[in-house]
Amino acid sequence: MNKAYVIGLDYGSDSVRSVLVDAANGEEVSSAVFYYPRWSSGKFCDPMTNQFRQHPLDYIEGLESTIRECLQKADNDEIVKAVKAISVDTTGSTPIAVDKQGIPLALSDRFADNPNAMFVLWKDHTAVQEAKEINAHAQKYDTDYLKYVGGIYSSEWFWAKLLHILRDDQDVRKALYTWVEHCDYIPFLLTGGKRAQDIKRSVCAAGHKSLWAADFGGLPPNHFFAELDPYLDGMVDRLFTETYTAAESAGTLSEEWADRLGLSTDVVVGVGAFDCHMGAVGGQIEPYYLSKVMGTSTCDMLVAPQDEVGNTLVKGICGQVNGSIIPGMMGMEAGQSAFGDAYAWFRQVLSWPVTNLIAQSNDFSAADKTKIANLIDTQLIPELSRKAEALPVTASSELAIDWFNGRRTPDADQTLKGALMGLHLGTDAVRIFRSIVEATCFGAKSIVDRFVEQGIPVKGLIGLGGVAKKSPYIMQTMADVMNMPIRIHKSEQTCAIGAAMFAATAAGIYAKVEDAMEAMGQGFEKTYEPRAEMVAIYAKRYQHYLKLGTFIEETKH
């Protein structure tokens, strides 16, 4: 084929990164990262109330900065001219209020500093009450509108967040025309969209978070939402009926964005999708292998042929949607609300003396304070991992529950809290850290068990993302707890590479995404095998984890 290049744009919780990739073999030409400045400074967020909002300018500035930097690093006019497509993945459900032109309200002077007019990040749990109401309301109808999202609607999702914002902010309620996922907004922006009704909605976001299903003929009817709350009356008519797979084109770059990026207006822009879905493709997902994208949270993806799944519905997961990961296959999503975030929380607890006492001390220079803070930030978790790996594991060792940010699956409940049990005067930081690592792995096992119990076999595990690449101790514990091998993908950027694969497909370079995966995939670098002696002890500890989890659920307040 003629030389062709594609760009994958990956929006994470803290930053956005772009990769420029050779479409023939997946070789990375260049990459760039942009950390959201407003988010980094803590603006518009309140962790104590679980409010996490992101300003659209963080996303837009990052989009332009990273793509331009990628092209500058390539330093080759022929490569720039040969860029054929861009595709985008984002966190989700991360929706925003827009006006009739599809412009986010936060981009206007009136709403520039209003958190309710910004993107409501996936981990924002301010809509817990609204999610409860949706779940109770759905029980009143003969049609089970929750059956394709595991039977339980989450506060992390589209409708709960919309209803919360409508109730919470009269000004936003009056100005809002419709509600748009981040992964749908960016392609609309790049293609120069002028009308919100023209936004192409991805089947990925629509099916897993918005209650869209082909069986329903689209979204649930207006009366379902109007009877839930009058503020939702008429909203369905301002949303969508059609959805698109990420293998399809959303259009081509507008003149404005072609000029801003230094690219041609012939560049195809693919339909967007969630990061974990594109990450699973970048990590070369296989039928019945659970692809675990492990970062601040986890997203666990499984694909299976539609004719083999039949009418099987897995209760308590984050949905199953035909074509949401790979067109033509059933895509199933599960995950944990805190994974890397659980370790980061513990690091923050331990680093309190540095950030508070040493920072206030006059005995250290500013340079020394920075060095100490950086040392703690970069070396604490690796050192805890090394020490934890050397500890003997017993049935009575300290035990934790991993619900530090609620529970995503199985059976979403964002009101649940984490726990530590079995502490004594000999318990130190290393032992607490080990219990948290084990808890995140036990939480992962409960997801696998749910798939198997509900009739969907799990043949093996594929590890993707930063934790999978950088934490041998955690991955070995995962293999031991799961009692199955876990293969670690070579690519550092599976989400961005997955977006690049979809870009190549949307541009017609490949007929289907499976062909792009085969040609552009980088393969696997390591496999962690379960150790028989550890499998036995973790099987006992897993039962303790389940009992403690049940106790936490029964006594929550």
pLDDT in tens, 503-529: 999 999 999 999 999 999 999 999 999
**pLDDT, position 8:** 98
**pLDDT, position 362:** 87
- What is the average pLDDT value for the chain, to the nearest integer? 95
pTM check: above 0.85: yes
Among 434, 433, 429, 405, smallest CA distance to 417 is for 405
For 410, 429, 435, 463, 543, the CA distances from 474, given in Å and listed in that order, are 21, 16, 11, 11, 20
Write out pLDDT tens, residues 203-257. 999 999 999 999 999 999 999 999 999 999 999 999 999 999 999 999 999 999 9
Backbone angles phi, psi at 432, to 5 degrees: -65, -45
Write out pLDDT tens, residues 441-492. 999 999 999 999 999 999 999 999 888 999 999 999 999 999 999 999 998 8
CA 122 to chain centre: 7
**pLDDT, position 374:** 87
Lookup: tokens for 534 = 């550890």
Among 525, 512, 502, 506, smallest CA distance to 26 is for 502
Q: Which residue has the tokens 């995140």?
A: 440
DSSP string of 77-106? Answer: HHHHHTEEEEEEEE-SS-EEEE-TTS-BGG
Please say if the pLDDT value at position 308 is more than 60: yes
Please say if the pLDDT value at position 1 is more than 70: no
**pLDDT, position 318:** 87
Residues of the chain with pLDDT > 90: what percent?
Answer: 89
**pLDDT, position 498:** 96
Q: How far is the C-alpha of 58 from the C-alpha of 36, rounded, in Å?
A: 5
Please say if the pLDDT value at position 382 is more than 60: yes
**pLDDT, position 40:** 94
Q: Specify whether the CB–CB gap between 445 and 300 falls below 8 A.
A: no
Q: Among the listed ranges 57-61, 88-92, 375-379, 446-450, which one has the minimum average pLDDT value?
A: 375-379
Q: How far is the C-alpha of 524 from the C-alpha of 530, rounded, in Å?
A: 17
- Residue 456 Ramachandran class (φ > 0 left, ψ -120 to 50 alpha, else beta): beta
Please say if the pLDDT value at position 372 is more than 90: no
Average pLDDT over every residue of 396-400: 95
Of the pLDDT bands very low, low, confident and very high (cuts 50, 70, 90), residue 154 is very high
Backbone angles phi, psi at 95, to 5 degrees: -95, 170
Structural domains of the chain ordered from first start: 5-283+492-522 (3.30.420.40), 340-490+525-555 (3.30.420.40)
**pLDDT, position 366:** 87
